[in-house]
Amino acid sequence: MKKAYIISTGTELLLGTTVDTNSMFLAQKLGELGLKVMGKSIVGDNRDTMTAAFKTGLDMADVVVASGGLGPTRDDLTKEVACELMGCELQLVEAELENIRSFFARRNRPMAESNRKQAMFPPQAIILKNRLGTAPGMYLAKNHKVVVLLPGPPGEMQDMYLHAVEPLLREDKRLTGPGSQTKIIRVLGPGESQIEDLLSGILDKGSDYGIALLAQDGEVLIKITADSGSNAASAGSRLEQLTHRIREALGLNIICEGDDTLAGVVANLLMRQGLTLAAAESCSGGLLSKMITDLPGSSQYFWGSVVSYSNEAKQVFLGVNPETLDKYGAVSEQTAAEMASGIRQHAGADIAVSITGIAGPEGGSQEKPVGLVYIGLAREDSLEVKEMRFVSDRNGIRTLAAKSALDLVRRRLLSGGAGK
């Protein structure tokens, strides 16, 4: 198996003001290609530390992928350092300079002289087009090593990797052999330790596959890697066998596989069954609605939502009875039920989901601690409320609440209990 090393550059990453999401994305994608990630470095805009990181990467791996430091300023040093270590000379590429000039012209902005630096490349390199910004990337193969340079902004980096780098890596048979294949399975419900117990007969039992668990945003990702030398069919068959065993062990706790998302699964189920959904959110503050409306075309099945943060909003827009609020409180099974019924009646939707809870860090009590959440689900012929207790910070509780509400919708749609 070929090896990879990841470098994230930028002083802001060391100061803690910016989170390094680039290396997480790259590690997953490179692993899916069958490259074993040996390590990663986060370095500031400093020539010496950047040089040390590239030397480490080139010593340890066949492919070094770096993000950041491709801008026009003096502290953007990534390309200079990489080319120096690879023994390549930078030259001005007129076509790239014209592309950069055009980028600024389309925005009615003057191009600074320093931007010429972004059009400098060694003749051996493949220049990677940046569809979203000014900094082109670079794919340089030399002396049995590959160096890939990507822009730092996550949107630009991901777009360039998916549309330019990944196809190049797939084509280079020296890097990615056909014998290693991976799959991601997303799970919501049981935690990592529970999943380990449920998969005890599968984990660490084989020499020709590996299974890793990763907690991420309230979900647990199961990454399966099957390796059988040069036999792609054998690796694919092994991967499907393992996936089948995991499906049997985890059942409905599996949200989806591959690049799909929980919101995407719910959307597809709603469209296939010809149903519409409405939401009433309190502690989640509209997060569930954002997850759904992040998908294009969501107006086909999503009526919308009411973010009823105050008691007054719950009464005025959802029809929650003041006596319910007085007797049981805003965070209660009864209020969640009336919120779900109220929004369903108001929207005329087939299904309605509600969320009310205590996201913290203040506001909890012994009877109703921080992390207590009630999720209501209303249909034509039934009304149910699920009590959840989450342990996390404010953002974590809100995310878990929104995902758990969507997951309740998913489970009911799969069980055929959605009803019109």
Q: What is the pLDDT of residues 312-322, one digit of tens each?
A: 999 999 999 99
Provide the pLDDT for residue 225: 80
Residues 213, 73, single domain; the answer is no
349: CB partners within 8 A, 6+ apart:
276, 277, 278, 303, 343
Which domain CATH number covers 397? Answer: 3.90.950.20
Q: Among positive and negative, which fits the CA dihedral 48, 49, 50, 54?
A: positive
Of the candidate ranges 220-234, 340-354, 400-414, the one whose mean pLDDT is the lowest: 220-234
Distances (CA, A) of 247 to 31, 190, 218, 262, 265: 22, 14, 19, 16, 16
Query: Does 420 reside within a domain?
Result: no
pLDDT greater at residue 285 or residue 107: 285
Domain count, the chain: 3
Distance CA 405, CA 357 (A): 12
A 10 A CB-CB count for 323 gives 9
| Res. 230: pLDDT tops 70 | no
Which pair of tokens denotes residue 273? 């069954």
284 confidence band (pLDDT: 50, 70, 90): very high
| Res. 205: pLDDT tops 80 | no
Residues 215, 154, single domain; the answer is no
Q: Above pLDDT 70, what percent of the chain?
A: 94
Amino acid in the structure at residue 228: S
Residues 243, 317, single domain; the answer is no
Q: What are phi and psi of 41, to 5 degrees?
A: -130, 140
H helix or E strand, kind and range, residue 291: helix 287-293
Measured in whole angstroms, how far is the alpha carbon of residue 214 from the centre of its chain?
12
17 confidence band (pLDDT: 50, 70, 90): confident
206 confidence band (pLDDT: 50, 70, 90): low
Q: What is the pLDDT of residues 24-46, one digit of tens each?
A: 999 989 988 878 899 999 999 99
Query: Does 206 reside within a domain?
Result: yes
In degrees, rounded to 5, the angle at the alpha carbon of residue 369 between the alpha carbons of residues 364 and 375 is 105
Distance CA 29, CA 9 (A): 19
Amino acid in the structure at residue 75: D
Strands 219-227 and 180-187: antiparallel
CB 120 within 8 A of CB 79: yes
H helix or E strand, kind and range, residue 28: helix 22-32
CB 79 within 8 A of CB 7: no
In degrees, rounded to 5, the angle at the alpha carbon of residue 226 between the alpha carbons of residues 220 and 227 is 145
Query: Does 47 reside within a domain?
Result: yes
- Average pLDDT, rounded, for the chain: 92
Which pair of tokens denotes residue 84? 């120096």
| Res. 420: pLDDT tops 70 | no
Q: What is the mean pLDDT of residues 369-377?
A: 97
A 10 A CB-CB count for 134 gives 19
Q: What is the pLDDT of residues 66-125, one digit of tens each?
A: 999 999 998 999 999 999 999 999 999 999 999 899 989 988 999 999 999 999 999 999
Residues 100, 232, single domain; the answer is no
Residues 27, 136, single domain; the answer is yes
Q: What is the pLDDT of residues 126-176, one digit of tens each?
A: 999 999 988 999 999 998 999 999 999 999 999 999 999 999 998 886 665
Q: Which residue range is the domain that position 141 belongs to? A: 3-171
Residues 284, 386, single domain; the answer is yes
Which of residues 257, 281, 307 is at a domain's end? Answer: 257
Residues 330, 266, single domain; the answer is yes
Residues 8, 149, single domain; the answer is yes
Which of residues 171, 204, 234 is at a domain's end? Answer: 171
Provide the pLDDT for residue 418: 52
| Res. 419: pLDDT tops 50 | no
The structure's pTM equals 0.75
Residues 253, 126, single domain; the answer is no
Residues 149, 229, single domain; the answer is no
Q: Above pLDDT 90, what percent of the chain?
A: 78
The rounded radius of gyration (Å) of the Cα atoms in the chain is 25
Residues 394, 278, single domain; the answer is yes
Residues 23, 129, single domain; the answer is yes
